[in-house]
Every structure is written in C-alpha cells, then in structure tokens.
A and B are shown apart, each in its own frame.
Chain A
Amino acid sequence: MDLLNINNLRIEFPSRHGTVVAVDDVTLKVQPGEVLGVVGESGAGKSTIGNAVIGLLEPPGEMTGGHVFLKSKQIDTLGAEAKRKIRGRRIGMIFQDPLTSLDPLQTIEQQLVETIELHLKLGEKKSQERAVDLLRQVGIPDPETRIKNYPHQFSGGMRQRVVIALALCAEPEVIIADEPTTALDVSIQAQILDLMRRLCREKQVGMIIITHDMGVIADITDRVAVMYHGKLVEEGTTAKILGNPDHPYTQSLISAVPRPDIRLKRFPMVNYIEAESVRPRHIDLATHWLGKSRDFEDVSGPLLSLKNLVMTFVTRHSIIKSRRKTFNAVDDVSFDIAEGEVFGLVGESGSGKSTVARMVCSLYKPAAGEVNFAGTDLTKIASESERDHFRRQMQMIFQDPFSSLNGRMKVMDIIAEPIRFHKLARTNREVEQIVTDLLDHVGLGAKAAVRFPHEFSGGQRQRISIARALATRPRFLICDEPTSALDVSIQAQILNLLKDLQEQLGLTMLFISHDLPVIRQMCDRVGVMKQGKLVEVAATEDLFEKPQAAYTRELLDLMPRLDKLSHEGLEVEKA
C-alpha cells in the first residue's frame, strides 16, 4: 500500500488565450520515510501538484482528471470540510518564503498552539508543552523563551524552522515542501535540508520536495521525478536519474548543471528547452562593426585597477553626526584586472560584491579609494561629457531580466539607445542595421527588433541585455549575477554565449556571482568577498584546489556535492 498515490493527475488553467494544461497525466507514489524529489524548470507545473493534493488549487486552476489516494482512501473527491480536516492533520505543507509564511501579528506560540489544539484537541497546557517540544525538535535554541517571540524577531533560517514545526504540529503522514530552501543562503540551506531529512526518517513521514535545484535533489532525495512542460518525463531512484538518465530532456538538464569539480569548455546539449532562433555567427573584428574605430587608449598595466575602495551607507539618519550610524558595504577593496581577463567576484548576499560593480561603472560614488580604468582615476572626473568617453568602453549586464529592460520600449529602441546617445552611427538606417546585426549575434534574429520585452522569455531577455551592452562597442563588461534568475539550462546557454563573445571580441570581464560552480566555468581569476572585505584573490583553479582563507574553504565545503551526476558528453578544459 502506498502512503500517497497521485494517479494520472491533470490540472488545467482556462484563460483568454485557451486552456493551459499545467499538469498532464502525472502519476507519483510516496512511501513512508521516503523523500521524493519533483524537479523541473519554471513552467513545468511542479508547484500546482502540491496545491492540488491538499485541495488548495487557486482559481481558475482546476483538477480535470486523475485521483489522489492517501493510504488507499481517495481524497480528491472529498468535500471542502473533509479536505480541510486532512490539511495539516495528515498532509503538511511547507512553502518557499519563510519571511511571509507566518502571521506577523501573532507570537509563534499563538500560531503553534492554535494549530495543535485544532488537530490534536489537547487543551491549552498540553498544547503549549508540545509547541515547545516541537521547537526543540527543529533546532531552535532556548525554545521556552523564544516561543513568546513574534516572527520578525527570528532570522530567515530560524523562521523556516518555525514553519517546519508548524507543518509537523499534528504529526502528518505526508509533507509537501515547495522550494523550501530557495529563499535561504547556502549555509542555512544545508542545515534545513539536514533537518528535514532527519525528521522524515525519524517520524517515517513521506515527503515530496518540489525544487528546481539539482543540488537539493542530490542532497536529500531517494527518488526523483523529472517534469517538463506539465508532463512527467522520467522517474527513478536518485542515483539512476542523476547518474544515467534515459530521457533526452533529463540528459540535457543534467549536462547544463555547472559542476564545482571540473571546468568545461562549453555546456553541451543545452538547446532542448529554448533553441536559439539563429545560430550566432562568428565575429571577425577586422571587418566587423564591433571592431571598427576602437579608439581606446592603449594600456601598459592592468585595464582596471581598484585601490582601497570604500563605500559607506548610512543606516540611521540623524542631524547630529555622532548619532548617525553607518556601515561599510565595501571596506578597503583593491584588485587589478588585466586586459582580456575574466575576473570573478564571489560571496554571499550582502558581501558587497554588487556594490563594487556599481562603483566601477560610476552608479555609486565611492567614499574613498580609486577606480583606475585605462590609466585614469574615474572618481576624479568632474564633467559628465568626459565621463561619457569611459562609459562607452564599459558596459554592464544585470541580474533580473524582467526589470533590466524598459517594458514600454521596443527591442529596437532599447538597443539603439546607447548607439544614438554615443553617436556611434550616422544615420537611422545604419543604427537599424547595427541593431539587427547585434540581435543576430546574440542568437535572437532580426525579427526580435519590432517586438516588446514582455514577448520574450527570461533567457531571451538576457540576450537582449547582452546586445544592448555590446552596442557601445565596449572593451570591458561587468556581469552582475547575469544568470542567477534563470533556469539552469537557460543559464548554460547564456554562459556559453558570454564565453563565445568574450573570446571573439577579446573582452575584459568582471563577473559577479554567488554561485561558485558558475565562477569556476567562467573566470580566470577569482576574488572572494565577505562582509565588504576581500578575503582572498587567486587564479580560479588554485582557489578551488588549494584554498587559502578559512572562509573560502567554508564556502567550498557548502557547495552541493554533485559527484553523482552523469559526465556524459562533457568536455573538460585543462587549466
């Protein structure tokens, strides 16, 4: 007898443009004490499965086929009240964002006790004892006092522990966790996964983990179901799916995962999901527009040299100077980047790496220090028109593909804006030619020019961003987490594109990421940042093989272990 049995599930979302089948004929089974991973990229329909099982599918979503059995008893046909009694009591749910999952106006005791009293009918005193006990089980120190606190008094990781405690209140038989660690930092992610795995074994709970993250899958699951466009393409033990996948989608998905242990030349087989509309052509700088009139100063030393850079933010405003509170987001950072080099900057959120990038391109004015670019200290430039000369040479690619393009402008105008501003073309006709050519080079094709950003997917938008950055014919490119908002296969495509362009155009790059495996694929040298300070700078391979600083070793230890993943078709680059 299966603990939970989802049979031929079909979920539809009727809309103005026709019915969208979010989940199509999906069958899943979970046994007690087992962790089943449901993996897929955005739009695969994986989250709606969880909502359908507990009867909280949001309208207009509708379950139009299939059955759900809990210990052989069919539950999808139950009435609203009977379904409610199953929720929390027999099937628990954990959501993605611990910051918004708790009622901010109630103490966690009130929330725990309410749930316990409801399901277990224990009475107040017993319920309180159980609440404290639950908090202890999920690893909250000093639970007797902390239970009186409000959610805002806990950190993100601690709140997710509270959420897990709430899900466990009534000893449910099944727990469905929807991206439970996506909103957390890597170090906390590992702890929460350990906790969930331990509780699952101890209490013999059947768990479904819905995630996009192969690291989470490799870390915690026993079996994996791979979803693609609402369909279940492959299911099996974790070792089998990761090590020897059968379906071409699974193969391409796994080959697109950046490996922490090897450096690839390119990502192979990544066109399964979103094929490029045109194959990017090779750019020959001798004849191409991008190579024309590169009237840049020759540099003898490094192209970019940061000296003792400091950035201060005021955290408490006050008229009285002594009462003002400030903190240094970037504290005494110095490094050089040679021409043609890709320099990586890595660190956890809040480490100051993006602030460095924003100072380099003059979005922020440093509190102290120098930004020397091609021999000129950019912080000393007073006039805007003089600065324009350097702006042309230095462009930036941003993180969020949905906010980095102005939704009110056509792609043509978005890419033409820098060309027109820096007067890089004489006629409108020439501008249009350059734009269509750039679109070809980033794999979108000329037809993209007449459309608006919202008509493109995240990966395609990131290609538009890259085309816009190239439009000033820069020699230096800053990439600020350019793929962290993208699905893994799209990420592989964009990283391939950036690699190709870097080689063909001889670009110098500052590549910022929180993701060490990505850094390993992209960078020649790496700087590690922690709380505004640069703790280590080393050649990439040296950093991964022989880390010097304690913090670097800590970060490397926290990387997901992906050694179970198939190496099929990968071409390793020798250092």
Chain B
Amino acid sequence: MTEHTSNRRRLRLVAILFATAFAAAACGSDDSSASDSASGGECDTIDEVSLQLQWFAQAQFAGYYAAVDQGFYEEQCLNVTILEGGVDIVPQQQLGSGAADYAISWVPKALVSREEGIDIVNVGQIFQRSGTLQVSFADAGISGPADLAGRKVGSWGFGNEFELLAGSRAAGVEPGTDYEIVQQNFDMLALINGEIDAAQAMTYNEYAQVLETVNPATGELFTESDLSVIDWNEVGTAMLQDAIWADGAKIASDAAYQDQTTRFVAGSVKGWAWCRDNADACVDVVLASGTTLGKSHQTWQLNEINKLIWPSPGGAGVMDTALWDQTIEVATSEAVLTGAPDDGAYTPDYATAALALISDVDARGSDWSPVEVTLLEGGS
C-alpha cells in the first residue's frame, strides 16, 4: 500500500512538473498587439486592415512600416497589421483566401495566379522599375545577354526567371541550349565560389551581399568594379515588381472596401514619400522591426528601393502603362501567361483618388537623387 501511495505521489509530481512548464510557457505567449488603438477624433470608425508581404521585414517594405510607425495609416482611419512572408506564404494566395486584406506581389506572379482563377486587382503600382540583375565577375566578360552563351547561369526559378529568359532570347541566345540554367539559392555563394558564371540578384539585396563579402584574393571587400551586371531595364525585358493587390470581388461590389482601399494606398504612398525624404529615420524604423537586420545593408537597400520608386512620373502607385504592356508582352511571349489579362487586372482609380487624399505630399519625387551608401562586412 505504501508503494502504491508513493507511486501516486510521483505521478502527481510529474504532472505538476509538466503543468508548471506549460504554465510558464503560457505566460507571455500573448501576442503583443502593436496597435495603439486610440487615434484622432476625426475617425468615426477605425478599419482593421492586414497587409501580406512577400518576405520578412526589410527596407523593401519600408514604406508600409513607416506608414504604421509614423501614423500615416492612422490618419486614414486604418489600423494596419503587417503580415510577414515565409517560405510557403504566397501573398496573392493569402489575399485570395481571405487571410489578408491586401498583398504585395510582383506583377507577373500575381497575373499567373489571376489566370489560375484568383480574383485579385492591382490597385497601386509602387515600384516603377525592375530591381533584378544578372551579376557576374568583371573578368568573366559578361556585359550583355549575348555573352551568356556557353555559361552556367544561376536563376531562382519559381517565376523569377522570365526577364532572363526573354532577355537572352531577344539577344539570340536560347536558354537551356546555348547556356545552362542552374537553380540558385537565395544567397550569392555559388557565384563567389565560382560554381556559376552569372547569378541572379536584386539590386537591393543579393548584389549588396557580394559587396559585403571579403574577396579572398585581396582580403578586402569586393567592390563594384569587380562586378559586371546585366540590367533588364536597359535590355528592355524588365517586368513590373512590387505592387499593392486587392480582392477583386470586394473591389467590384463593396463600397466600404473601395473607400478603405483608397485610404490604404494613400497611407502607403505617404509612407514611401517619407522614406524618400527621411531615409535615415526610415532605416531606423526598418531596423526596429527586425533584430537581425544589418544597418549598412538596410541603408543600401532603402536607397536602391527608392531608385525603383522615384521618380514616379505619374505619381507613386500610378501604373506606368508602357511597362505594364511590356510586362504582359514578355509574360505571354514566354508562355508564362496564356493570354493578356482583361482590363480588370489593374485599375488606376484608387491610386489617383489616393493621391488626391494626400495632395500635400510630393508623390512624384522628381527632385530626388540617390545617395552613396558604404557597405560594411556582413552588411552590419
């Protein structure tokens, strides 16, 4: 009988041990809501809005973080929750499933999803240029798409390769036969180790990573003169990238959502304009949103992102129709899309109305010029 009771006592001890562990785990697991809900008295109601990003917090999305931090969304009676991306998070799918109210996505990827039946609409074309490069070491002698012949060319795939495919075809170099396409990771190791001759890179991220790496030959960081780039904007196969997408069904029929969309685009554009005019403060906002982010890397990134947005001749968020047409043309010629999307794929109405809401903001940025950013090792 004593054994029995001591047994029970032990079991109880184990139960208590586990319970304590879970209680401890439960403490502080409450999600800290970032909203300081109260806002100016001018709002009758505050709309709760979620925005799905393509990836983690970084300067690529600085404008949205700044709009939250600086209260630009609040001015528009919005409480915006930013949802970061992950490996399996496809922003336009999150939007289509109703898990997010708006999503940031590259235009060709979003149009592919749209063709597959996800009803989404481009309501604000934030980036006016493509940030994709094909980077090689200068001594490899790759200065244009024609020079890719006979090379090992890295690409991320998954819809990131269309500019490369179209650009090299236009130069008479056939992908797969005239040069080899190699699946590339989202780092620049393969290029630095010499496994590939040219690597895909975003101006604002991977290109900078090379410049943050020590060149084993010199013991110093790689410099831009060590590198040669193919810029698809110059080749003429650039495709539109980050844009704000909205739910197509709601935008067609829901007046409240329409109004909310205008205000959301307005707050976002104001955030981007603020990041253009207050780059250092904007970088600090970005750094505060991710502990592991490096300061020099994010400073570089914001400068490059600003180059992709500004100048915006029609105003930020307003579609560059020539580049839209070029995006469709490349996408259809590469059989990414089976046909041109219908007129509903983008609408200029919300960006135009949004700019009218923030008429005191310079949404064109014609006077802006980029700065020189010094990168440190590891982007720290």
Task: Tell whether A pairs with B.
Answer: no
